[in-house]
Structure 1
Amino acid sequence: MIDGLLKMFEIGRSVSIKGCRYDNAVAEATYKIMKTEFVNQMSFQSLRHWELELYDYVNWFNQHRIHGTLGYMTPIQYRHVALKKVV
């Protein structure tokens, strides 16, 4: 099914080169931030509690937390600025 959707939208799969240490760098950095700022700072009483807290954290991360690599803007602000440049 996935292959059919990729073909339909003319999207090529991203295939990493074996041993390339930069392939997952962004994802791993994001996971590290989440573990440091979110997971290690809380204790969860249930899966539902974890889901609610994760939703709040992701909202805060995207809407309120400034990122140095994005020019000290939130991801949402950065996206709006980038879209204005394109249009």
Structure 2
Amino acid sequence: MNYPKVSIIIIGLNVEKYIENCISSILNLDYPKDKIEIIYSDSGSKDNTLNIVKKFLEVKIVKLETKEPTPGKGRNAGAKEATGE
């Protein structure tokens, strides 16, 4: 079967309680690993979120450089990095 490459964009701010489970769930999908791109768009987390995300070498990290982060800005920053079909 020919699977398309998909880009999954996760946006977050101080989500250390949830991010590891979120990324692990994506990596455990029944989908070819070489066809999944995970992008985490961080809105300036002050907790341990980024350290947790960095443990996953498969995840591309985008840091928002703005004083007023919004979900839209996070999605747009992630979409600029996406290479999926």
Pick the structure with more helix per residue: 1
Q: TM-score range by the shorter chain?
A: under 0.3
Rg larger for: 1
Instruction: Give me the TM-score of the superposition, normalised by structure 2.
Output: 0.25
Instruction: Give me the TM-score of the superposition, normalised by structure 1.
Output: 0.24
Higher RCO (Cα < 8 Å, 6 or more apart) = 2
Pick the structure with more strand per residue: 2
